[in-house]
Amino acid sequence: MTAPAYNFAYLDEQTKRMIRRAILKAIAIPGYQVPFASREMPMPYGWGTGGVQVTAAILGPNDVLKVIDQGSDDTTNAVSIRKFFVKTAGVKTTTTTTEATVIQTRHRIPETPLGDHQVLVYQVPIPEPLRFLEPRETETRRMHALSEYGLMHVKLYEDISRHGHIATAYAYPVKVDDRYVMDPSPIPKFDNPKMNDCPALQLFGAGREKRIYAIPPYTQVVSLDFEDHPFEPYRHDASCELCGATDSYLDEVITDDRGTRMFVCSDTDYCGTRRAMGHGTAAEDTEAAHDDR
């Protein structure tokens, strides 16, 4: 074949311009959801079509891409999106957090601190934090315009009155630069503090809901709470059985049909790196270490 079958990174140039303009507005108005003309992608909604469009719009030939799904480099979603960009953009990919310039993520923030040369792209299912409290877009838009977020505090308060504590465990609402309340996508609330004052640019893409929003580097991101019920990140009271980490977010893995379970790091790169350094049990050659090409 002499001509490329796709434009670089799949999307046509007009689509990229439209998405790029939305990204620039999103960065200028931290936490505000910019509407964009989301395209159909060659994967179903719920598989990261928003994140894929954002990644396709920012990606250049010299970028190094990492894709994670729930912290893992080697689950179906991560592997298929990585292959998609290898095929359509020919970019270099990596599983090592520190080597990546663009990291697309579903539902986690890497444990390794990010740098100011990196961009974190989140896949977002429902971008509107107020949607389950107020179904009308016209109303939620008005509430954002007026910074009228009392309803969200009522929701958190109802959590406390019913459960004795704020029971929201993921997609925990945050306030960005003291203005917009924002849905951080379904990351565990363990990850919320990593968004605050983060050196990396954070971009959020919701394909089905057609919204893009952003947190610029070094921006104040506060998890909503009450003075007498302060925000607390949750973590299983255990250490990783593979690398022994006591500071990482853990997945609970059922290992047989009699309820035996183990806890392991959800971030496979963090866990593998620690094991390679001699923590915990020795690392085996994992699937994620193989090149997709």
Residues found near another protein in the complex (CB under 8 A):
7-9, 13-14, 16-18, 20-30, 32, 34-35, 57-61, 116, 141-142, 144-146, 177, 179-180, 197, 201, 215-220
* Least distance to another protein, CB of residue 69, Å: 25
Strand extents, DSSP E, 20-88: 34-35, 64-69
Determine whether 198 is an active site residue: no
Determine whether 243 is an active site residue: yes
- In the set 51, 205, 240, 272, the catalytic residue is 240
Distance CA 61, CA 8 (A): 9
Determine whether 31 is an active site residue: yes
* Least distance to another protein, CB of residue 1, Å: 17
- In the set 31, 205, 207, 272, the catalytic residue is 31
Nearer to another protein by Cβ, of 21 and 208: the residue is 21
* Least distance to another protein, CB of residue 7, Å: 6
**Cα dist from 183 to 70, 107, 125, 192, 215, whole Å:** 17, 12, 10, 11, 11
**Cα dist from 211 to 39, 43, 49, 202, 225, whole Å:** 12, 18, 11, 14, 26
Nearer to another protein by Cβ, of 116 and 287: the residue is 116
Nearer to another protein by Cβ, of 22 and 242: the residue is 22
* Least distance to another protein, CB of residue 119, Å: 8
What is the widest separation between alpha-carbon atoms in the chain? 66
8 A C-beta contact, residue 206 and residue 126: yes
Among 78, 30, 25, which Cα is nearest to 55's?
Answer: 78
Catalytic residue IDs: 31, 240, 243, 265, 271
